[in-house]
Structures are given as structure tokens and as C-alpha cells.
């Protein structure tokens, strides 16, 4: 990676991107940590919890590449982002209204799925928009991305201590309003016109992104990302339930401890990315991810929530060092005309393929170990730790990187 320091981005641009990231992170921060308990309060069991958490990953299989291609080839990205944000906000409010009235859990699930399909590309799109306008992405992107982390934290605190939405559909209403506000702010972001002009069906469906997998390091990175996302998928689905089982009455607020470590990691990213190879950073992230679930397993064995909280505190480091590094890696290595699609492919691998498998497997494992008491939480988390650890040798052996003199990848 070059050591030269580009001129700094205008404060107004950084502030605008930070604000949109804040609202984008705040929206799911209201309902994601509380969703298991919200569904339980409406009399819906573990099957419905799994179905609800599977909606987002299935959505990530459908829309990110297509919407990314539209932004790369047809319309200004910030306008596409604003439109899908507003539409998904309306659908999200309708979904939680259906849940509150409990006319039919299928109606809730259908509306929730529609909201998720529309919203699935938002994180990858905003990352791509940021990379276009930030003059030093490796130094400045973690700063603007920090807004999303702080938004998520703020939502968790508000959910637990101000609105008391731990088991209430009100969390969904708050999320919908927040998403709509963030979408409105996006209209004031700098113009991000499409850089491509292809009209082929293949391109407009986002299928060109799969050509990235012809390069060995890209294939290894996306494969490990999908594998890592299998155990990551259950973090927000089952950790709050384990917290409650250990006597914690404010799981949404407790889960924000992970965002505190994420803040620290974001602030260190500029130093990390200039001093270490990408492979080294990814390996550290994978090791910490396995350790996190190891701590969770000890919490199950000892019934001591301190171990669970210790594992939660590692979550931010794990997420930032792997996924934010991955976004920067793609921005550096991919043709500018394919950046939004590349970020969409990352969403497909992590929030899509890996998460779908992870939630299905996690639901089966939870029922077998916790519900049917074959080893309980201890065994449940040890299996997740082992799956995470499997990523380490794959990355170590097969990821090669490029010459150090060209970039620290």
C-alpha cells in the first residue's frame, strides 16, 4: 500500500456520510438485538425466530448485486439509496404493525421480507458512495463508518432504557422512522453518477461481479467470508437469549458493548491498514472471532455472564478487522466501474449465503443442544467456535496477497 497521504476530504462530505451511516446503523440497532424477545412476547417460538432472522440473508441473495449494477450503470447512487431507504422504511413499519396486531405471523414475515429485500443493498451502496468521495479511503472510511456503529449503540440504549422496547413492536416503528430520516439525508450527499454504461442483461442483473472470483485471492476471501458468516449469523439471534437465560434484563443495551470495541477498532484502522498486510489483519480477526465463541461456551459451562460479556466485547474488533478491512481491500483491488457490485457480492457472501446456512444450522443446533439439552449452551457455542477456527488454515494456506511493494495486501 502506498504511504503517500492524499489531500483531505471536505468536512461537509465526511459529515454528510457520517450522518447517513449513523441513521443507517440506528435503524436495525432498534430491532435486531430485541427481535428474538419481541417475537417471544407475541407467543412465537424458536421456529419463528429462525424464520425472521433468515429473511435478511435471503434478501441479501436477491437484491444487492442487481441494485449495485443499477447504481453502477443507470442512476446516481445516492438517489437509488434514498429511494430504497424510504420504501423499506414504509414496509418495515407495516411489518411491525402486523406483528403488533398479530393478525397473522405470515403477514409480518412477508412484509418483513419485502422490507429486507429492498434494504439489503444499503450498507454496500453507502460504502461504495463513500469510497468514491473520500480522498483517503483507508484513513477516512473508518471515521465515517463509525457513524453506523454509534447509531447502533444509541438505538440499543434507547431501546432498553428510554423506550423500553425490549419485547415491544415499538422497536420496529422506531427503526422505520429512523430509516426514512437517513434516506432523506442521503439526498444531500454529493452526486455519485454511474461510471458504467452497459445495458446487457448480464450486467444489469449484477452477474458481472462473479468474474471477480476468477482471481485466486478474491475467491479465497469471498469463500472464507461465507464460511465465517455461518457462525456469525447466530450472534444476534441467540446471544440475547443466552443473556436472558443468565438473568440479564437489558440484553439490547448489553449487546452494545460490542459496539464499544468496534469504535476502538474503527479509530485504529488507519494505523492498522498502513502497518500490516491485509492477510495479517484478516487472520487476527478470524482468531478473535473463534475466541469470542470460546468465551461464550465458557459462559455456558459456568453460568457466569461475565464470560458472555467478555465475548460480546470482542465482537466489534472481530467485525471491523475482518469486514471493514474486506471493504477496503475490494475498493483497492476492483475496477471503479464495478465497485458497487463488488461490495454487493460481499453482502451476498456474508449476509446472504453464509447467513442463510448459519441460521438454518444454528436453529437445528440450538434445538438439539439447548432445547433438547444435549450439552446446552456450552456445546452450542463450542461448535460455533470450531466452525470459526476452520477459517484460519484456509486463509493462511490459500490467500497469497500481492507484492508488498505494490500494496500491503
Give the SS3 label for residue 312. Answer: helix
**Cα of 102 vs its chain's centroid, Å:** 28
- Residue 264 is placed in which grid cell? 476502538
Distance CA 176, CA 87 (A): 10
N- to C-terminal Cα separation, the chain: 7
How many alpha carbons fall within 13 Å on the CB side of residue 352? 20
277 belongs to a structural domain: yes
Q: What is the pLDDT of residue 72?
A: 61
Distance CA 399, CA 302 (A): 38
**Cα of 324 vs its chain's centroid, Å:** 10
Q: Which H/E stretch holds residue 105?
A: helix 105-119
342 belongs to a structural domain: yes
Q: Which domain holds residue 164?
A: 11-398
- Single pTM value for the model: 0.81
Distance CA 407, CA 151 (A): 33
The per-residue pLDDT string of the chain (409 residues; one tens digit each, 9 = 90 and over) reads 444 445 667 899 999 999 999 999 999 999 998 898 899 889 998 889 889 989 888 888 877 667 666 666 578 889 999 999 999 999 999 999 999 987 789 999 999 999 999 998 899 889 989 988 998 877 889 999 999 999 998 998 899 899 988 889 999 999 999 999 999 999 999 998 876 665 555 665 567 778 889 999 999 999 999 999 999 999 989 999 999 999 998 898 899 899 899 899 988 887 888 889 999 999 999 999 999 999 999 999 999 999 999 999 999 999 999 999 998 888 888 887 777 778 888 988 998 999 999 999 999 999 999 999 999 999 999 999 999 999 999 999 999 876 443 444 5
Read off the DSSP letter of residue 213: G
3 belongs to a structural domain: no
403 belongs to a structural domain: no
What are φ and ψ of residue 328, in 5° steps?
-65, -40
What are φ and ψ of residue 32, in 5° steps?
-65, -55
CATH value at residue 127: 1.20.1250.20
- 65 CB neighbour count, 10 Å cutoff: 28
Question: What total of structural domains would you count in the chain?
Answer: 1
39 belongs to a structural domain: yes
Distance CA 345, CA 64 (A): 7
How many alpha carbons fall within 13 Å on the CB side of residue 278? 28
Cell numbers 477516512 correspond to: 140
Cell numbers 468514491 correspond to: 132
- Residue 225 is placed in which grid cell? 467470508
**Cα of 306 vs its chain's centroid, Å:** 25
Exposed e or buried b per residue across 278-289, where buried means at least 16 C-beta atoms within 10 angstroms of its C-beta: bbebbbbbbbbb
Amino acid at each position: 500500500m502506498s504511504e503517500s497521504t492524499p489531500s483531505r476530504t471536505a468536512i461537509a462530505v465526511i459529515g454528510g456520510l457520517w450522518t447517513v451511516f449513523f441513521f443507517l446503523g440506528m435503524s436495525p440497532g432498534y430491532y435486531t438485538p430485541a427481535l428474538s424477545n419481541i417475537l417471544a412476547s407475541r407467543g412465537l417460538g424458536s421456529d419463528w425466530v429462525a424464520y425472521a432472522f433468515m429473511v435478511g440473508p435471503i434478501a441479501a441473495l436477491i437484491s444487492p448485486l442487481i441494485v449495485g449494477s443499477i447504481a453502477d450503470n443507470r442512476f446516481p447512487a445516492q438517489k437509488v439509496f434514498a429511494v430504497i431507504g424510504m420504501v423499506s422504511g414504509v414496509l418495515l413499519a407495516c411489518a411491525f404493525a402486523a406483528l403488533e396486531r398479530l393478525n397473522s405471523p405470515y403477514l409480518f414475515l412477508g412484509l418483513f421480507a419485502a422490507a429486507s429485500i429492498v434494504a439489503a443493498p444499503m450498507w454496500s451502496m453507502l460504502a461504495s458512495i463513500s469510497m468514491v468521495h473520500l480522498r483517503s479511503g483507508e484513513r477516512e472510511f473508518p471515521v465515517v463508518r463509525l457513524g453506523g456503529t454509534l447509531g447502533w449503540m444509541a438505538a440499543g440504549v434507547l431501546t432498553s432504557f428510554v423506550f423500553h422496547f425490549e419485547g415491544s413492536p415499538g422497536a420496529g416503528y422506531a427503526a422505520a422512522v429512523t430509516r426514512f430520516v437517513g434516506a432523506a439525508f442521503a439526498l444531500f450527499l454529493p452526486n455519485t453518477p454511474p461510471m458504467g454504461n452497459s445495458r446487457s442483461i448480464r450486467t444489469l442483473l449484477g452477474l458481472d461481479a462473479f468474474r471477480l472470483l476468477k482471481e485466486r485471492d478474491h475467491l479465497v476471501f469471498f469463500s472464507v467470508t461465507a464460511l465465517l458468516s455461518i457462525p456469525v449469523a447466530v450472534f444476534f439471534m441467540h446471544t440475547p437469549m443466552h443473556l436472558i437465560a443468565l438473568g440479564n434484563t437489558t440484553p439490547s443495551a448489553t449487546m452494545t458493548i460490542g459496539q464499544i470495541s468496534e469504535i476502538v477498532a474503527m479509530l485504529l484502522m488507519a494505523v492498522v491498514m498502513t502497518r500490516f498486510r491485509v492477510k495479517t489483519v484478516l487472520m487476527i480477526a478470524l482468531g478473535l472471532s473463534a475466541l469470542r465463541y470460546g468465551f461464550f461456551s465458557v459462559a455456558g459451562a459456568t453460568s457466569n455472564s461475565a464470560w458472555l460479556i467478555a465475548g460480546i466485547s470482542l465482537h466489534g474488533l472481530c467485525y471491523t478487522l475482518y469486514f471493514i478491512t474486506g471493504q477496503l481491500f475490494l475498493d483497492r483491488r476492483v475496477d471503479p466501474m464495478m465497485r458497487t457490485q463488488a461490495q454487493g457480492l460481499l453482502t451476498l457472501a456474508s449476509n446472504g449465503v453464509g447467513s442463510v446456512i448459519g441460521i438454518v444450522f444454528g436453529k437445528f443446533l440450538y434445538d438439539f443442544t439447548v432445547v433438547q439439552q444435549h450439552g446446552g449452551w456450552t456445546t452450542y457455542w463450542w461448535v460455533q467456535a470450531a466452525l470459526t477456527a476452520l477459517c484460519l488454515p484456509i486463509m493462511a494456506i490459500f490467500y497469497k496477497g500481492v507484492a508488498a511493494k505494490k500494496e500491503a495486501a
